[in-house]
Structure 1
């Protein structure tokens, strides 16, 4: 995990919708509750995305 992600302990919402330059998503902080990946260019999701019980909404649309 990149060092800058280790300092995001208060981050609960992450909107990466339509992010065309991001190809890979790093391991996610455990406090994420909302994750939007609609129309993002991400090719692979880390297993941490699927293991978070707190995430209430996740849009994965190619």
Structure 2
């Protein structure tokens, strides 16, 4: 959402606060949806075996 839309809603709400309340609620719902989508992404499994990188060969 652009700043101009928020500014327009803010100036229009001087006489009527309902549009601004609806805008805020809509933004909250969108933020909650985005957060739930991000949390639903599965964590990638490690590609390397767990013992890889534990020992260093210093005689090379």
Query: Which structure: larger Rg?
Result: 2
TM-score by length of 2: 0.22
Of Structure 1 and Structure 2, the greater strand share is in: 1
TM-score by length of 1: 0.22
Identify which of structures 1 and 2 has the higher relative contact order when contacts are C-alpha pairs closer than 8 Å and 6+ apart. Answer: 1
